[in-house]
Chain A
């Protein structure tokens, strides 16, 4: 069995690819992982203890033809049975072409286009209303004047400045808001979302929906410490009823298909929906380590296995992320740069 995995990047925003590769290897050491990256510097390219083969892909912005031709070439050369895409920017392409990929022998388990679009920050209000939970007051702006006017008219500091897909900052002054606005625009473009700052505990759930209203498993955590951009450093497994109910409802009501990460803020019994990410998060291995190997379940589901999984896991398990290094030969770097694969 050969599984392609994207998101094997590191830096301050670690990709989910390592967690998925590690989970699949732990479930079946004979499973071959093909790491797919967009940068030869991505650490996953050199982590041969969990990633058997690495290949670089053209950016999705180059167009579907060029992108998938490369993937088909990889399949022809090494074999590729399944693919688990993990980066927000590439998901629309994989969702659009998932049937074509399947026809070519590369199966995936992704949300439909309609479900994927539900997670758009501009549509989350409607999702929250349907789920009977709250959504922080939000507004989309596309230029500096609109940002200032919206804040002055409808918001109070502190508030949150968010990108459409990535980045979110709590700001306390207009100058700070403008600084973060331009920072996100420079990287991800407009629109920018201005959002009410909601207090409470931030909880996250990772899970998989089977596309028919049932879950293949889910695990809830609380992030205890995070990096400056909100990435988990320490976390603990919890079972918060309003949070788990919300995740179950997303799977049931929207017939969610594929992996997801739910981010919400819980204040007593009030649940505020913050984000739904239609992919595995980088902390997915945490779920694996407490007995819920979601990447394994995803692949087995694609292979036709139908199991009624218990939605149970131990609480009070602590996640600790640390930094580790490896040293390899520059030859590998060179090979990846010149031949696009190692």
Chain B
């Protein structure tokens, strides 16, 4: 998993990238995924946690986490 420790995320889900000055808003689930990623959890761990807390299938949660990771790369947010 890439490094996201440089990103600043506040309690409202406002994400600021101090290397580019770009800012984004995260929904509740994206905040949880980002928080887990910053803790160093892998896709499998995060998908299991989401599957449990949102009562969705593990496969669906896994795909969502992967898609979120792809978006972060697309926006140049992963180091």
Q: Taking beta carbons and an 8 Å cutoff, which residues of A are in contact with B?
A: 201, 203, 221-222, 224, 236-241, 266, 268, 315-316
Q: Given the complex, which residues of A lie within 8 Å of B20, measured CB to CB?
A: 201, 222, 238, 240, 266
Q: How many angstroms between the C-alpha atoms of A224 and B22 in the bound complex?
A: 9
Q: How many angstroms between the C-alpha atoms of A315 and B22 in the bound complex?
A: 12
Q: Given the complex, which residues of A lie within 8 Å of B18, measured CB to CB?
A: 237-239, 315-316
Within the complex, the shortest CB–CB distance from B74 to chain A, in Å, comes to 12
Ranked nearest first, the 4 interchain pairs of A and B with the lowest CB-CB distance are: A222-B21, A315-B18, A238-B21, A236-B21
21 contacts between A and B (CB under 8 A): A201-B20, A201-B21, A201-B22, A203-B21, A221-B21, A222-B21, A224-B21, A236-B16, A236-B21, A237-B18, A238-B18, A238-B19, A239-B19, A240-B19, A240-B20, A240-B21, A266-B20, A268-B76, A315-B8, A315-B18, A316-B16
Q: Across the interface, name the chain A residue whose C-beta is closest to B17.
A: A238
Question: A237-B18, A238-B18 known; 14 other A-B pairs, CB under 8 Å?
Answer: A201-B21, A203-B21, A236-B16, A236-B21, A238-B20, A239-B18, A240-B21, A241-B19, A266-B20, A268-B76, A315-B8, A315-B16, A316-B8, A316-B16
Q: How many angstroms between the C-alpha atoms of A203 and B16 in the bound complex?
A: 16
Q: Across the interface, name the chain A residue whose C-beta is closest to B19.
A: A240
Q: Across the interface, name the chain B residue whose C-beta is closest to A316.
A: B16
Q: Across the interface, name the chain B residue whose C-beta is closest to A200.
A: B20
Q: Given the complex, which residues of B lie within 8 Å of A222, measured CB to CB?
A: 20-21
Q: Given the complex, which residues of A lie within 8 Å of B21, measured CB to CB?
A: 201, 203, 221-222, 224, 236, 238, 240
Q: Across the interface, name the chain B residue whose C-beta is closest to A239.
A: B18
Size of interface on B: residues with Cβ below 8 Å to A: 8
Interface string of B9-24 (1 = CB under 8 A from A): 0000000101111100
Q: How many angstroms between the C-alpha atoms of A56 and B20 in the bound complex?
A: 42
Within the complex, the shortest CB–CB distance from B41 to chain A, in Å, comes to 25
Q: Given the complex, which residues of B lie within 8 Å of A201, measured CB to CB?
A: 20-22
Q: Across the interface, name the chain A residue whose C-beta is closest to B20.
A: A201
Within the complex, the shortest CB–CB distance from A244 to chain B, in Å, comes to 10
Q: Across the interface, name the chain B residue whose C-beta is closest to A244.
A: B19
Q: Across the interface, name the chain B residue whose C-beta is closest to A238.
A: B21
Q: Given the complex, which residues of B lie within 8 Å of A240, measured CB to CB?
A: 19-21
Q: List B1-55 residues whose CB lies under 8 Å from chain A.
A: 8, 16, 18-22
Q: How many angstroms between the C-alpha atoms of A241 and B19 in the bound complex?
A: 7
Q: How many angstroms between the C-alpha atoms of A142 and B43 in the bound complex?
A: 59
Q: Across the interface, name the chain B residue whose C-beta is closest to A202.
A: B21
Within the complex, the shortest CB–CB distance from A193 to chain B, in Å, comes to 27
Q: Across the interface, name the chain A residue whose C-beta is closest to B21.
A: A222
Within the complex, the shortest CB–CB distance from B23 to chain A, in Å, comes to 8
Within the complex, the shortest CB–CB distance from A222 to chain B, in Å, comes to 3
Q: Across the interface, name the chain B residue whose C-beta is closest to A223.
A: B21
Within the complex, the shortest CB–CB distance from A262 to chain B, in Å, comes to 15
Q: Across the interface, name the chain B residue whose C-beta is closest to A236.
A: B21
Q: How many angstroms between the C-alpha atoms of A237 and B76 in the bound complex?
A: 18
Most chain A beta-carbon contacts within 10 A, residue among B8, B20, B22, B76:
B20
Q: Given the complex, which residues of B lie within 8 Å of A224, measured CB to CB?
A: 21
Within the complex, the shortest CB–CB distance from B45 to chain A, in Å, comes to 29
Q: Given the complex, which residues of B lie within 8 Å of A203, measured CB to CB?
A: 21
Q: How many angstroms between the C-alpha atoms of A203 and B18 in the bound complex?
A: 12
Q: How many angstroms between the C-alpha atoms of A242 and B18 in the bound complex?
A: 13
Q: How many angstroms between the C-alpha atoms of A316 and B18 in the bound complex?
A: 6
Q: Given the complex, which residues of B lie within 8 Å of A316, measured CB to CB?
A: 8, 16, 18
Q: Given the complex, which residues of B lie within 8 Å of A241, measured CB to CB?
A: 19
Within the complex, the shortest CB–CB distance from A319 to chain B, in Å, comes to 11
